[in-house]
Amino acid sequence: MGDVAKRGPLAGLELEFVGDRLKKGFKRRDAFKGGIATLGALAVATGVGRHVTAAQGLASLGLLPEDLPAKKYTAATSEVGAGSTWVAHGMETARFFGDLLGVEVTSFDGQFSVEKQLQDLQSIASQDFDFVAVHPSASGALVDAANQIIAKGVPLIDMDTRLVQDPEEFEAYGHLTYLEPDNIYMGSTVATELFKAMGGEGEVIHTQGQLAHTGAQGRAEGFRQTLANYPGITVVDETPGDWLVDQTASLWQDLLQRFPNVKGGFFHSDDMALAAQSVVEAAGKQDQILLVGVDGLKNASEAILADKLLASVINPSGRIHGGAIWAGYLTLSGTDQAEGGVPKFIRTDGGPITKQNAAGYIWLHDNMQY
State the sign of the Cα–Cα–Cα–Cα dihedral 314, 315, 319, 321: negative
pLDDT by residue, tens only, the chain of 370 residues: 444 444 433 444 444 444 444 444 433 333 333 444 444 444 444 444 435 566 655 665 566 667 788 999 999 999 999 999 999 999 999 998 999 899 999 999 999 999 999 999 999 999 999 999 999 999 999 999 999 999 999 999 999 999 999 999 999 999 999 999 999 999 999 999 999 999 999 999 999 999 999 999 999 999 999 999 999 999 999 999 999 999 999 999 999 999 999 999 999 999 999 999 999 999 999 999 999 999 999 999 999 999 999 999 999 998 999 999 999 999 999 999 888 899 999 999 888 999 999 999 888 777 666 7
CA distances, 170 to each of 85, 139, 143, 247, 289 (Å): 28, 10, 11, 31, 40
AA identity, residue 312? S
> Nearest to residue 297, comparing CAs of 42, 54, 90?
90
One-letter identity of residue 370? Y
Distance CA(67)–CA(48), nearest Å, equals: 18
- Residue ranges and CATH numbers for the domains of the chain are 8-181+316-350+358-366 (3.40.50.2300), 183-313 (3.40.50.2300)
Burial-class residue 340 by CB neighbours within 10 Å (0-12, 13-18, 19+). Answer: exposed
Nearest alpha carbon to residue 158 among 185, 179, 187, 183: 179
Q: At what angle do helices 298-305 and 358-366 cross, to 10 degrees?
A: 150
> CA-based Rg of the chain, rounded to a whole angstrom?
21
User: What does the pLDDT read at residue 337?
Assistant: 87
Q: CA 134, CA 166: separation in Å to the nearest integer?
A: 18
**SS3 assignment for the chain:** CCCECCCHHHCCCECCCHHHHHHHCCCCCCCCCCHHHHHHHHHHHHCCCCCCCHHHHHHHCCCCHHHCCCCCEEEEEEECCCCCHHHHHHHHHHHHHHHHHCEEEEEEECCCCHHHHHHHHHHHHCCCCCEEEECCCCCCCCHHHHHHHHHCCCCEEEECCCCCCCHHHHHCCCCCEEEECCHHHHHHHHHHHHHHHCCCCEEEEEECCCCCCHHHHHHHHHHHHHHCCCCCEEEEECCCCCCCHHHHHHHHHHHHHHCCCCCEEEECCHHHHHHHHHHHHHCCCCCCCEEECCECCHHHHHHHHCCCCCEEEECCHHHHHHHHHHHHHHHHHCCCCCCCCCCCEEECCCCEECCCCHHHHHHHHHCCCC
Strand partners, 157: 133, 177
State the pLDDT at residue 368. Answer: 64
pLDDT at 8: 38
Write down the pLDDT at residue 306. 97
Dist. CA 31–CA 85, nearest whole Å: 29
- How far, CA to CA in Å, does 133 sit from each of 21, 105, 161, 189, 307? 24, 10, 12, 28, 36
Report d(CA 99, CA 78) in Å as an integer.
18
CA dihedral 209, 98, 121, 138 (to 10 degrees): -20
What is the reported pLDDT for 340? 87
User: What does the pLDDT read at residue 58?
Assistant: 60
